[in-house]
Amino acid sequence: MYIIHLVRTICLLLTIISTGAAQVHAQKKFVPNYDESKVPEFDLPPIFKPSSQDPISEWADRRTELLSLFQQQVYGLPPTHLAYRTSYSIVESGPGLAGKALRQQIRIKLETDAANHTIDLLVYTPAEPNRPVPLFLGLNFFGNHTVSKDPQIAITSAWSRNSAEKGVSQNKATDKGRGTAASRWPIEKLIENGLGVATCYCGDIDPDFDDQFQNGVHSLFPQFRPGPDHPDRWGTIAAWAWGLSRLLDGLIQKVPQVDPNRVVVIGHSRLGKTSLWAAASDTRFAGAISNNSGCGGAALSRRRFGETVGRINQSFPHWFCENFKQYNRNEDALPLDQHQLLSLIARRPIYIASASEDRWADPRGEFLSAKSASQLYSNLGYPELKLSEFPEPGTHTIGPVSYHLRKGRHNITDWDWDRYIEFMRAMVQSQ
């Protein structure tokens, strides 16, 4: 009797100890690696198919293969096979920037038998352009009304993250948010340079929280909802990218002031991951700019420097598709890496931008990815990225593959935009 009791007690103690250890393990605080000497050795998966005899002429097939791998394993498939109806209306237009610009607000209505959903696009173009202008198209974080103090800009009614600084309470945007992101959107400078700029609140396309894909554009296609049984369906980044394509449709349909062949998609941080995926998925975008996009954007996942695949999937379980979670703490098993995402945008120009203090986004990993993709551009007959080594802060180089390392923190600043204007000019001149 005594022995049985003793054995039971020992078993119970062992269970308590092991459960406790598992909990401690699960709750262990994530400690990012910022030590270059601790970056593991790894082999990058090749851009060209290794067995190919003629990789350049087979590039189109290889590209299709890589695109489908990214869809299935990282961002998730968009519902390209499902029908929807679209209508566009210009809900407001008028002079902006004291008459230097034309402001237009376009409502894009998407409808299926299940639901309907609207997205609001804000467009500024020079007041009287001689010809259709090149344009930067990018999503914003807190609503169109945050990009400028212009009182005519409609305040979003979509769910917004609470923020005293952005004037959001109870998940509703208010007047107080007007112009609070203006430093990130130098509209006047772009207009003075003869360029257009268009933006839309990302939450208008898909609110940025984990709601099991009930709202936003996901609600249009309930039969295509992602979930454990459908681990390859679109997450929020793919939904945002799909939304960017719908905005491009709207520009083409309703804004003759814009040259549809010169729309460059731009984004900062999570929206930089999105701009890369949008340009990879939709070849109508003339080029792409990724500003500090980091993990799941331009940075190489295998480096595990700063934010990692496991960490991003834990913090933002809705951004990527379910399949991407297989690679949490298991990056070497990834059948691809982010330099191949950049390769999908070739031959169109790309700009990868880092900031020197933005270690979380792994600036060196972003550079190495751009460097590796630039090898493809060179094989396709374009000049390679001019930098051979990770450069000093303050360095920039413009070409078919452009790169800069701005001094400073995670942000998008005037210094960045000055380079993007140069990039746009170079793109126009090379066409």
The binding site for ligand GTR (CB under 6 A) comprises 269-270, 294-295, 307, 312, 315
The residue among 307 and 322 lying less far from ligand GTR, judged by its C-beta, is 307
- C-alpha torsion 277→278→283→288, nearest 10: -80
Phi, psi at 146, each rounded to 5°? -85, -15
Q: Spell out where 231-299 has E strands.
A: 258-268, 287-291
Shortest separation between residue 293's beta carbon and ligand GTR, angstroms: 7
Compute the Cα dihedral for 100, 102, 105, 109 and give only its sign: negative
Q: Is 301 noted as a catalytic residue in this protein? A: no
The residue among 47 and 280 lying less far from ligand GTR, judged by its C-beta, is 280
Shortest separation between residue 178's beta carbon and ligand GTR, angstroms: 21
What gap in Å lies between CA 265 and CA 258, rounded to an integer?
14
From residue 131, alpha-carbon distances to 134, 248, 283, 305 in Å are 10, 18, 23, 46
The residue among 71 and 292 lying less far from ligand GTR, judged by its C-beta, is 292
The residue among 308 and 323 lying less far from ligand GTR, judged by its C-beta, is 308
What gap in Å lies between CA 304 and CA 315, rounded to an integer?
16
HSE at residue 334, side-chain half, CA atoms within 13 A, is 31
Shortest separation between residue 314's beta carbon and ligand GTR, angstroms: 10
Token look-up 């409502």 returns 107
The residue among 150 and 307 lying less far from ligand GTR, judged by its C-beta, is 307
Tokens at 252, concatenated: 């083409």
What gap in Å lies between CA 255 and CA 257, rounded to an integer?
5
Q: Give SS3 for 155.
A: coil
Report yes or no: 176 and 204 within 8 Å, Cβ to Cβ: no
Catalytic residue among 148, 269, 281, 354: 269
The residue among 184 and 270 lying less far from ligand GTR, judged by its C-beta, is 270
Report yes or no: 175 and 304 within 8 Å, Cβ to Cβ: no
The residue among 23 and 315 lying less far from ligand GTR, judged by its C-beta, is 315
Shortest separation between residue 320's beta carbon and ligand GTR, angstroms: 11
Residues 6+ away with beta carbon under 8 Å from 274? 139, 202, 237, 240, 241, 244, 267
Token look-up 């109870």 returns 170
Shortest separation between residue 359's beta carbon and ligand GTR, angstroms: 12
Shortest separation between residue 354's beta carbon and ligand GTR, angstroms: 13
Shortest separation between residue 296's beta carbon and ligand GTR, angstroms: 7
Report yes or no: 216 and 205 within 8 Å, Cβ to Cβ: yes
Displacement of CA 235 from its chain's centroid (Å):
12
Q: Is 145 noted as a catalytic residue in this protein? A: no
Residue positions annotated with a catalytic role: 269, 410
